Structure 1
Amino acid sequence: MTKETIRTVLLQEISAEIAIPPADIDDQASFMRLGVSSVQALKIISRLRKQLDLDINPVALFEFKTVDDISEYLAEEAAA
């Protein structure tokens, strides 16, 4: 699974939670700056687990603070 594929899925999930089109989400902005609450972050992680078939630690969105950062991390995890 590529970083770009993961990024696309992640942007769709964030978009669904915060009601902003995926194209308008800055992948370098922190999730906090995007307005993602901790409850929303847990929902996003839960859906990503299912869609990407990865065991994702819920803390990941707090450790990797941007779409770009977590996409890279998850691509590395998927390759491992």
Structure 2
Amino acid sequence: MTKDEIKTVLIKAIAGELSIAPADVEDDEGFMQLGVSSVQALKIVNGLRKELDMDINPVALFEFKTVDDISAYLAEERAS
């Protein structure tokens, strides 16, 4: 799965959790700026684990602060 495909999955997950349109999720905006709470972050990560079939540490959403950053990280993790 490419970085862009992962980004699409992540944007949909964030938009769904925040009840906003995917177009309203900017890939260079921080998760906290988007209004993602720690509880919502856990829900997003759990959804991504299932969707991407990967073991993802929830802390990753706080270490990689934007959609673009975490998409690149997850694409690298999948490749290795």
Q: TM-score range by the shorter chain?
A: over 0.9
CA RMSD of aligned residues (A): 0.5
Structure 2 unmatched runs, 5+:
none
TM-score by length of 2: 0.98
Match of 1:41 in 2: 41
Hey, what's the Cα distance between the residues in 2 that align with 1:79 and 1:73? 10
Aligned residues: 80
Give the percent of matched residue pairs that are identical in Structure 1 and Structure 2.
69
Q: What do residues 24-69 of structure 1 show as CA deviations (whole Å, max 9, x unaligned)? A: 1111010000000000000000010000001101100010000000
TM-score by length of 1: 0.98
Hey, what's the Cα distance between the residues in 1 that align with 2:50 and 2:37? 20
Aligned residue identity for 2:14: I
Structure 1 runs (4+) greater than 4 angstroms displaced: none
Match of 1:69 in 2: 69
Aligned residue identity for 2:27: D
